[in-house]
Amino acid sequence: MSPRARTGAPDAPSPRSPEPGAPVDGSVGAPSPRGRRSRDEAGGPVHRALDVLDLLGAPGGPSSLGVVEIARQLGRDKSQVSRLLKLLADAGYVDREPGSLRYRIGTRLFAIGATAVDRRLRDEADAAVSREAALLGERVDVGIRSGGSVMTISTAAPDSELRASGWVGRTAPLSCTATGRALLFDLDTAAIARVIVPEGLGPAGPAAPRSLDELVSRVADERRRGWSAARHETDRGLLSLAAPVRDSGGSVVAALGVSGPESRIDPVIDEVRAAVLRAAADLSRALGAEVSGGRAATAARAGPPAAHHDGVSPLPPPPAPERGAS
């Protein structure tokens, strides 16, 4: 009721009766009251379409809804909702389930959302790697999964070193890189096998996993502590730390890592690890993920338990010097 109605102004409008079938109890899955009020005031088919999409895509709601239920929750006429759903389905924004009258969010919306996340990720990643490289004095990368490899999409190096822009687009095996293994945190044993087996473990240094079982065990340990580390796994003397970056649904979409000579990183390993976790959490937050305790909330802990360790070793130990190595 408006302030004018409360004061008894003679030209105050009479209270508006709810439309037939309109929810009066804040039905679960309905758009927020504020959004609904602003759209009702504006009116028009575009706003009604947005109400339908909000309802179908509501977090925690059912995966699909029928015309009658949509009309009931939105307080709209059934025939009006049916026509609107047909228009949205023709455009690909909603899909009708085969053999039923139920509708769900369409693949076109997923594609638009994926594009938005991808662009946001790249923009935010560029800012993050530049900031952390200046702070840590080491190269910082953000990578995404590409088959059995990690592909660098953003990188920066301190001003005192050669700029690392040439690294963008390069790939490396998931199995023997810190960013690569962080990208596997959401996968269980079978899923890791599906990703790794077709391409194999790839060329690697002396401390890299030598079998699928060893890789799965190492990922499990690193998943449990929330960050990954690779020492001597691509090049002798190289040490890398990484943490996963998650989207609004809690899924791993990228990984942020720092790499450099172990002689420089080892003395400040705690500071570097904290910086990696913070930067990955900040990047996750920018993508809409819920972050608490400095880490992004996970969508699910699907991975296997650690196979060989009761405790967590801070880093894989350096290998024994190879014969003839300096």
Q: Is the pLDDT of residue 241 over 60?
A: yes
Whether 98 and 174 share a structural domain: no
Q: Is the pLDDT of residue 209 over 60?
A: yes
In CATH, what number is assigned to the domain containing residue 32?
Answer: 1.10.10.10
Cα–Cα distances (Å) from 269 to 55, 72, 229, 258, 264, in that order, read: 47, 58, 11, 11, 9
Both structure tokens of 205: 């240094």
pLDDT at residue 31, as a whole number: 45
Whether 127 and 99 share a structural domain: no
Q: Tell me what percent of the residues of the chain surpass a pLDDT of 90.
A: 35
Strands ordered across the beta sheet of 139-146: 171-173, 149-156, 139-146, 252-261, 238-246, 228-231
Q: How much of the chain is in helix, strand and coil states, percent to nearest 5?
A: 40, 15, 45
pLDDT at residue 269, as a whole number: 95
> By residue range, what is the domain housing residue 127?
112-296
CA dihedral 215, 216, 220, 221 (to 10 degrees): -30
Lowest mean pLDDT among 65-69, 178-182, 196-200, 252-256: 196-200
Q: What is the mean pLDDT of the chain?
A: 77
pLDDT at residue 105, as a whole number: 86
Is residue 5 situated within a structural domain? no
pLDDT at residue 296, as a whole number: 61
Per-residue confidence at 250, pLDDT binned at 50, 70, 90?
Answer: very high
In CATH, what number is assigned to the domain containing residue 137?
Answer: 3.30.450.40
Tell how far CA 63 is from the center of its chain: 20
Per-residue confidence at 23, pLDDT binned at 50, 70, 90?
Answer: very low
Domains: count for the chain? 2
Q: What CA–CA distance (Å, rounded) separates 204 from 177? A: 9
Task: From 70, 105, 140, give the residue that closes a domain.
Answer: 105
Give the count of alpha carbons within 13 A of 78, CB side only: 8
Is residue 210 situated within a structural domain? yes
Whether 131 and 227 share a structural domain: yes
Whether 160 and 262 share a structural domain: yes
- Please name which of 249, 167, 161, 174 lies closest in space to residue 204, comparing C-alpha atoms: 174
pTM: 0.61
Q: What CA–CA distance (Å, rounded) separates 204 from 202? A: 6
Whether 124 and 247 share a structural domain: yes
Whether 118 and 241 share a structural domain: yes
Q: Tell me what percent of the residues of the chain surpass a pLDDT of 70.
A: 73
Both structure tokens of 282: 């900040």
Residues 274-315: tens digit of each pLDDT: 999 999 999 999 988 887 655 665 544 444 333 333 233 333
Residues 120-155: tens digit of each pLDDT: 888 889 999 999 999 999 999 999 998 888 999 999
Task: From 55, 81, 105, give the residue that closes a domain.
Answer: 105
pLDDT at residue 300, as a whole number: 41
Pairing of strands 228-231, 171-173: unpaired
pLDDT at residue 13, as a whole number: 41
Q: Is the pLDDT of residue 181 over 70?
A: yes
Q: What CA–CA distance (Å, rounded) separates 102 from 204? A: 51
Is residue 313 situated within a structural domain? no
Whether 138 and 40 share a structural domain: no
Q: Is the pLDDT of residue 39 over 60?
A: no
Residues 46-99: tens digit of each pLDDT: 888 888 888 888 877 788 898 899 999 999 988 899 899 998 988 888 888 887
pLDDT at residue 214, as a whole number: 92
